[in-house]
Structure 1
Amino acid sequence: MTYDGPRVPAQYAPGDGCAVALDLRVAVCPGLTVSVAARLRYHTADPYAVFLDNHTDLATPITWVFARDLLATGVHGWSGIGSVSIHPGVDERRDSVFITLSGEGSSVVLRAPAERVRTFLARTESLVPIGRERTHLDLDGLLRRLYEGGAASPGP
């Protein structure tokens, strides 16, 4: 039997974006970790954000949205406060990136393969270089939708 990576249901992936499947490790208790299939997604219509879809036993994934800069900084050093923080592994965990998600009185620490996260970030930069995000925003369209009383989001 061969292992082809985590089994992740297909997600909405518009043309101007990228995604990478991840096999996250979650510490349930000391000495016991479980695998969680996940996916990092990026789309040029929302150039400052990345989406982390966690696929648990639910029909639809739990999605966290946070800044791409937070992830890019967290690959190399401690980044973030509040509901999302990210930092690289140390010593024997240098091949990992740790993502802490907090909300509603609980927290979880996810361990992601650092190389997969770096690959994802490189793909996002090939679409929109860091520092050039504002050139991919349709501010006129956003203002028009707000003025007309429509949704502020750029897409479905």
Structure 2
Amino acid sequence: MTYDSSRVPAQRAPGDGCAVALDLRVAVCPGLTVSVPARLRYHTADPYAVFLDNHTDLATPITWVFARDLLATGLHGWSGIGSVSVHPGVDDRLDSVFITLTGEGSSVVLRAPANRVRAFLESTESLVPTGLERTHLDLDGLLRRLCDGGAASPGP
């Protein structure tokens, strides 16, 4: 089942954040692509990061966390090394952004609609402008959670 994610606007997520649903495409072989339901999320409690939930139709989605700046830079040029890289489409794919995820022994290249990613990033900017991320960090709370053995990142 596929859905038209272009009709779903970026939405505020609980706890000062935003999220947008995406229909990512994966090329499994030349001429054949598969739809991967996904969601980009952002939380002001973790202002430098974005969360990419893949397979949102599963009970537990697969979540990747990477820098908001990496995603923003990837709209205009190659960005990132290692586990996540992002780059714009070329030629007939100018309306796309490609996100490469590399895990243990395998990689996947996801094609996302550039306008949806751009709109998502604009929503994150309205919450925390680039350069002001440090003003949204609760370093004392983070240190307290780490010392108590709790999670370092915000919840859903």
Q: Which category describes the TM-score, using the shorter chain as reference length? A: 0.7 to 0.9
Q: What is aligned with 1:121?
A: 121
Q: 2-side partners of 1:46 and 1:28: how far apart?
A: 34
| SS state at 2:19 partner | strand
Question: Partner amino acid for 1:88?
Answer: P
Q: 1:85 to 1:4 in 2, by over 3 A?
A: closer
Larger radius of gyration: 1
Q: C-alpha displacement at 1:152, in angstroms? A: 4.8
Question: Partner amino acid for 2:152?
Answer: S
Q: C-alpha displacement at 1:14, in angstroms? A: 2.2
| SS state at 1:116 partner | helix
Using the aligned pairs only, state the percent identity.
Answer: 86
Q: C-alpha displacement at 1:56, in angstroms? A: 6.4
Question: Partner amino acid for 2:5?
Answer: G
Q: 2-side partners of 1:117 and 1:72: how far apart?
A: 9
Q: What is aligned with 2:137?
A: 137
Q: 1:145 to 1:36 in 2, by over 3 A?
A: closer
Question: Partner amino acid for 1:151?
Answer: G
The size of the alignment, in residue pairs, is 147
Q: C-alpha displacement at 1:143, in angstroms? A: 2.5
Moved over 4 A (4+): none
Q: C-alpha displacement at 1:83, in angstroms? A: 0.6
After superposition, where does 1:1-156 map in structure 2 within 5 Å? 4-5=4-5, 13-55=13-55, 58-147=58-147, 149-156=148-155
Q: C-alpha displacement at 1:31, in angstroms? A: 1.0
Q: 2-side partners of 1:105 and 1:57: how far apart?
A: 25
Give the TM-score normalised by structure 2: 0.87
